Amino acid sequence: MLAPKDLFNLEGLTHAGLFAGLEFVWEALGKIEAYTRQVVEEAGPNAGPLRGHGEVLPRTVVIVDGRIYEDGFELLGGDPTKGKLRVRLQGREVGKVSVIHAGAALMDELIHIAPGAVIEPGALIKGPSFIGPNSEVRQGAYLRGGCLIGAGCVVGHTTEIKNSAMLDGAKAGHFAYLGDSILGREVNLGAGTKLANLKIVDRPFRVKLGETVHSIERRKFGAIMGDGCETGCNSVTNPGTILGPRCLVAPCQAVPGGYHPPRSVIR
């Protein structure tokens, strides 16, 4: 009941390899940084050449087929998460193009920005970080490393992420904190949602399922949210929270740590 397949649909998932061979879903938390480093190296870190201009980009660039263009293009708009990003390059529209806006800060070479992704001004990214296809990293976002972003995701304005994975279609659009956490497919965090990851009292995390209590020896454990979960604005999950698929959390709610079955309504 607490294996990765119990919380996530792994078929066709961009980063299903993160969960390979795991008995319990929380075991993935200890793999995120190494796995992110691996997929960045396999895909080819493409932040290195951009950093030649300085850690903060002085001008907007696009990447097409692995080549960086500093001019000769026009941004035509469109929602990247819906695959509608449009760019005209040298007189013709091109697909599978990444856009990194002036003012974005790339603090490490171990960063991969996949085709279709957009990095807005003021976003700061440390490595290793993988920004998946058709994902959007908005102004003021802070990716502190070990950030595994799937396809069609949103890392929103002033959202902070560290050692966390966002699976395909997950969105943390506004003022969120994700520490040592995993968001399943199409999870949506309401504005101001915080996934707290550190207990005030240093004790093992306890997850009860039926008559079985699992003791998890981790210093930090945020939230693991199954596919389709949603949180209301200004909600907080306590450290060590696991939400089954399609749980709903009311606004301003403090979610108790531990396991919550699928389709729970927490209010």
Three-state DSSP at 251 gives coil
Whether the Cβ atoms of residue 224 and residue 242 lie closer than 8 Å to each other: yes
CA distance to 51, 90, 266, per residue, from 125 (Å): 12, 29, 33
DSSP assignment, residue 80?
G
Alpha helices in the chain (DSSP H): 4-7, 32-43, 48-51
How far is the CA of 211 from the CAs of 35, 72, 165, 207, 208, in angstroms?
A: 33, 64, 30, 11, 7
Count structural domains, the chain.
1
- Return d(Cα 54, Cα 145) in angstroms, integer: 19
Q: Which two tokens stand for residue 125?
A: 């990214």
- Secondary structure letter of residue 38 according to DSSP: H
Q: Which residues are known catalytic residues?
A: 174
Which residues are within 8 A (CB) of 42 and not within 5 positions of it... i.e. 6 or more apart? Answer: none
Kindly list the strands in the beta sheet with 171-174, ordered across the sheet, starting from the edge strand earlier in the chain: 67-69, 61-64, 97-100, 118-119, 136-137, 154-157, 171-174, 188-189, 230-231, 248-249, 265-266
Handedness of CA 87, 44, 163, 151 (dihedral sign): positive
Q: What is the tens place of the pLDDT at every residue in 133-159?
A: 999 999 999 999 999 999 999 999 999
Confidence (pLDDT) at 52: 65
Tokens of 146: 């070990």
For 94, phi then psi, to 5°, come to -125, 150
pTM of the model: 0.96
Q: What is the DSSP letter of 50?
A: H
Q: What integer pLDDT is reported at residue 202 of this predicted model?
A: 86
- The confidence score (pLDDT) of residue 54 equals 63
Whole-number Å distance between alpha carbons of 156 and 260: 26
Structure tokens at 89: 């390059």
Per the CB < 8 A criterion, the answer to whether 195 and 237 are in contact is: yes
pLDDT digits (tens, 9 = 90+) for 167-193: 999 999 999 999 999 999 999 999 999
Q: What is the pLDDT of residue 48?
A: 76
Q: Which domain holds residue 82?
A: 4-266
Say how far apart CA 170 and CA 6 lie, in whole Å: 17
CATH assignment of the domain containing 262: 2.160.10.10
Name the pairing type of β-strands 124-125 and 142-143: parallel
Question: Distance (Å, rounded) from C-alpha 160 to C-alpha 259?
Answer: 24
Q: Which residue positions in the chain have pLDDT lower than 70?
A: 52-54
